Amino acid sequence: MSASATALRDQANRDDQAAYDSFERCDTDGALSQWAHSLNAQEARLQADITEAGGVALFPALFDLNGNLVRAKLMHGQWGAYFALLDERGRITGQWFTPSKASDARRARAADAARTVGDLKGGYIGYVMAPAKAELRGGNVATVTAVAVRTDSGYSPDVEIVDNGQHNEYGETFGRWYAIRGGLI
C-alpha cells in the first residue's frame, strides 16, 4: 500500500462514517457492515501510522547476551510466542528459543539469559524497527484486529535496533518485553 498517510486517514474517516450511517439507517441489523467498516478504518489508520514512520513498525527480536541480533524469526504456536532460529540462508533450523513465561520481568529475563539453544548460550528479548504493513488478523470474527506485520519475512540484519535487551527496566505498556530506556514509553 503506497497511499499517503493523509489519504489513508481520509479513507479511515469515510469507513467510520459508513459504519455510523449504517447504524443510523438500520440500528443493529447492519452489524456486519458496521463491523467491516470499523475494521477497514482500523487497518487504514494503522497503515497511516506505519507510512508516517517511514514504512516501519516496532517488533520484538532476539539478541544474544552480548547484545547482537540473533538470526531468528518470531512465531506463534499452540503454547505462545517463540523464536525460530534461522540458518545463514534464512531457513528455520529446527531449533526454538521460547522466552520465559514468568510473570516477574526480572525472573523471566534471568531464565532467558540461562537458556541454551544450539550455539545460542542465552538470550535477551529486545525491539527493532522493521519494514511493515498493516493487515487484519485474528482467529475468528471476535478476535479480528489490525496488526503490523513484518514485510521482511520476519528477520533482516538491516533493521534499526531500538533496544537490545541489555537492561533491567520494564514497563507495563507493552508487556514485560518492552523497555523503559530511551524514552520509548
pTM attached to this predicted model: 0.79
Residues in Cβ contact with 10 at an 8 Å cutoff, skipping those fewer than 6 apart:
none
Same-domain status, 86 and 113: yes
Domain count, the chain: 2
Average pLDDT over every residue of 34-59: 91
Q: Cell 528479548 sits at which residue?
A: 125
Same-domain status, 121 and 44: no
The residue among 180 and 27 whose pLDDT is bigger is: 27
Q: What are phi and psi of 3, to 5 degrees?
A: -65, 155
Same-domain status, 134 and 166: yes
Same-domain status, 108 and 148: yes
Same-domain status, 38 and 102: no
Per-residue model confidence as pLDDT tens digits over 62-112: 999 999 999 999 998 888 889 999 999 999 999 999 998 887 777 888 899
Average pLDDT over every residue of 30-57: 89
Range of the domain at 12: 5-52
Same-domain status, 21 and 67: no
Burial 81-104 (b: 16+ CB within 10 A, else e): ebbbbbeeeeeeeeeebebbeeee
* pLDDT band at residue 182 under the 50/70/90 scheme: very low
Same-domain status, 80 and 156: yes
